[in-house]
């Protein structure tokens, strides 16, 4: 049978070193391996991401700020699927649903993609649809977080003192949200994106046994 998460973590640590330190390169390799193993179909990709979920979560637990690691993962996915926007969006969306990435970083990344496209007519409809999906995911996760907080905090604030809604998704339609984000993108410091392992990276057949 398939190994448990603890066994997979031990396997990775023995061969790739500690995952509790800021070893971003290790995680990039693991993500690239998962992308290669998941490339045959969407089902394969979902299963491959599930198998490395514990590794990414474990790596983030050892970081004060996982922002850089999230950026590297986003870049790895974008670079690997540079010829297929559909596959890149599917993979990033699955990782968002699994809570492996910050939705804000993914949203900013997609906005920069739009802002950097000289011919706006060439932007595929999946990109705009994905932006709407990101906002939906963020709102759902915020609600889940709020519900959990209310259960844990017995003495919570009065019901009429609600936390402010997310600025991007508060009552705005997708078009206005995207327009505003693109206009403000010049004032936001862009993340430094580095190249990932070459696509010719050799994937150990041993790793395939874990997917």
Task: Per residue of the chain (211 residues), give pLDDT as tens.
Answer: 666 767 776 776 676 666 655 467 778 888 998 999 999 999 999 999 998 888 888 888 777 788 988 999 999 999 999 999 999 999 999 999 999 999 999 999 999 988 887 777 777 888 889 999 999 999 998 888 777 665 555 444 444 434 334 434 444 455 565 566 656 654 544 443 344 443 444 444 344 434 4
pTM: 0.67
Burial class (CB in 10 A: 0-12, 13-18, 19+), 85: middle
Torsion of CA 12, 16, 19, 25, to 10 degrees: -130
CA distance 36 to 30: 10
pLDDT number for residue 65? 82
């Amino acid at each position: 049978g398939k190994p448990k998460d603890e066994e997979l973590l031990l396997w990775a640590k023995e061969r790739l070193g500690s995952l509790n330190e800021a070893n971003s390169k290790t995680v990039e390799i693991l993500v690239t391996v998962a992308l290669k193993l998941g490339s045959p179909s969407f089902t394969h990709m979902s299963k491959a991401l599930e198998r490395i979920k514990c590794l990414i979560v474990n790596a983030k637990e050892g970081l004060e700020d996982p922002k850089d690691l999230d950026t590297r993962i986003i870049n790895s996915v974008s670079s690997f699927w540079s010829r297929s926007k559909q596959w890149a969006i599917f993979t990033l969306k699955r990782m968002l649903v699994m809570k492996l990435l910050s939705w804000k970083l993914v949203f900013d990344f997609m906005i920069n993609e739009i802002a950097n496209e000289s011919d706006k007519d060439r932007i595929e409809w999946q990109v705009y649809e994905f932006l709407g999906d990101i906002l939906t995911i963020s709102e759902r996760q915020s609600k889940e977080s709020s519900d959990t907080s209310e259960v844990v905090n017995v003495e919570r604030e009065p019901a009429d003192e609600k936390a402010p809604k997310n600025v991007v998704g508060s009552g705005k339609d997708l078009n206005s949200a995207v327009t505003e984000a693109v206009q403000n993108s010049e004032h936001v410091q862009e993340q430094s994106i580095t190249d990932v392992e070459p696509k010719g990276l050799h994937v150990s057949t041993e790793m395939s046994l874990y997917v």
